Amino acid sequence: MSWAEHLGLRMAQAQQQSLLRSHTRLATPQRVDTQINGHSVLNFSSNDYLGWASDEFTIQALKRGADRYGVGSGASHWVVGHSGAHDDLETAVADWLGVEAVALFCTGYLANLGVISALADADTLIHQDRLNHASLLQAGTLAGQSRRFGHADVDQLRRRLARGHDRRQWVVSDGVFSMDGDVAPVQAYVDAAGAAGALCLIDDAHGLGVLGDQGRGSTHGCNPDLIMGTLGKALGCGGAFIAGAGWLVDAIRQFSKPYTYTTAMSPALAYAAAENIRRLRTQPHHQAKLRSNIDYFRAQAIARGVDLMTSDSAIQPWLLGSNERALAASERLKSAGLWVSAIRPPTVPAGTARLRIALSAAHTQSQLDQLCDGLVTCIPG
């Protein structure tokens, strides 16, 4: 079969299963109040949890960063791409999270690939929560010996760690699960890993800025060996970091190809991200507003009969089951001016398609009321 026939067949199959994706062209994709094709919509699909991706503070910080350091880094970290802005961001993250060392990556996806491939070898056994983000799962697959344990099943994890006692082991999990919104049993994972002499890596892409004192996330107080954080979600910028003990981060820097062979993140963006970390630490009302929006939305939606999944984070999914049902609900909401993404396999397991409602500190109560009104019209049956 030729390439064209082969790919044509795959596309047709995906189309049949309602699995083809299309780009959404919101006028300002991160703003809560935006337009599509000239029509107003309220956006409940962005990971811009604090509403910082396009606010004045971040824009001004980016401009100052560009004035001071330029836009492009011009080279990889080990060549000449690592500037004072990168140093400052590393220090800001280390102070914030109380860790010894931090290394920067261009995206969270690349950080997960870069960290796991840097440390894992043929002797390493990687235990992954089965609902981990695609980047962790793919990194595990590329590394070889990666196994998924039951979601949040600490007993199963302990049994597997005991069985693998003669190997170098690694426990890897999302801190907040990106499509479910629930928080991992981080302390139990850290303890289980520690007792077995394993490393523990928590990807806190959706916890940082949202949970914990000063937005320190789901790992605050738990001290995993490594924390992966993204700067493109609550922090409103882009890029990512790995944080942990100096001996670990040094090894990652030395052995990670996605660290070594990529142009370093934009120094202007690094500067803006550091400014937003300082803002997060000194202006707690942003995080508090997000918290009150989460509590308000859950109370209102549940009171109106919307069967939300259990979640304490800014990700509030509503499980609808079939792809068709999730797509139909998303379309109905769209026609009411409410933008909520339908999430389908392979992003989530087959039969668990859902609406993924993402909340922001920038939403007003009346916008949350409008969302609840729309959701009620989608209640099955």
Residue ranges that bind ligand PMP, judged by CB under 6 A: 107-109, 112, 133, 135, 174, 178, 203, 205-206, 230, 232, 240
Residue 297's nearest CA partner among 321, 317, 327, 325 is 317
What tokens were used for 345? 């396999």
- In the complex, least distance from residue 5 CB atom to ligand PMP, rounded to whole angstroms: 33
- In the complex, least distance from residue 142 CB atom to ligand PMP, rounded to whole angstroms: 15
Strand order in the sheet with 338-339: 33-36, 39-43, 338-339
- In the complex, least distance from residue 137 CB atom to ligand PMP, rounded to whole angstroms: 10
What tokens were used for 320? 């609808």
- In the complex, least distance from residue 162 CB atom to ligand PMP, rounded to whole angstroms: 28
- In the complex, least distance from residue 2 CB atom to ligand PMP, rounded to whole angstroms: 34
- Length of the chain measured in residues: 381
What tokens were used for 127? 């235990």
Of 228 and 290, CB closest to ligand PMP: 228
Give Cβ neighbours of residue 289 (< 8 Å, ≥ 6 apart): 361
Of 233 and 363, CB closest to ligand PMP: 233
What tokens were used for 95? 């102070």
- In the complex, least distance from residue 208 CB atom to ligand PMP, rounded to whole angstroms: 11
- Residue 63 CB neighbours (<10 A): 13
Of 230 and 367, CB closest to ligand PMP: 230
Of 359 and 378, CB closest to ligand PMP: 359
- Residue 331 CB neighbours (<10 A): 11
- Give strand pairing partners of 358: 315
Of 112 and 145, CB closest to ligand PMP: 112
Of 135 and 313, CB closest to ligand PMP: 135
Of 55 and 129, CB closest to ligand PMP: 129
- In the complex, least distance from residue 174 CB atom to ligand PMP, rounded to whole angstroms: 5
Say if residues 53 and 230 touch (Cβ distance below 8 Å): no
| Residue 116 three-state SS | helix
Q: What angle do CA 330, 333, 334 make, to 5 degrees?
A: 85
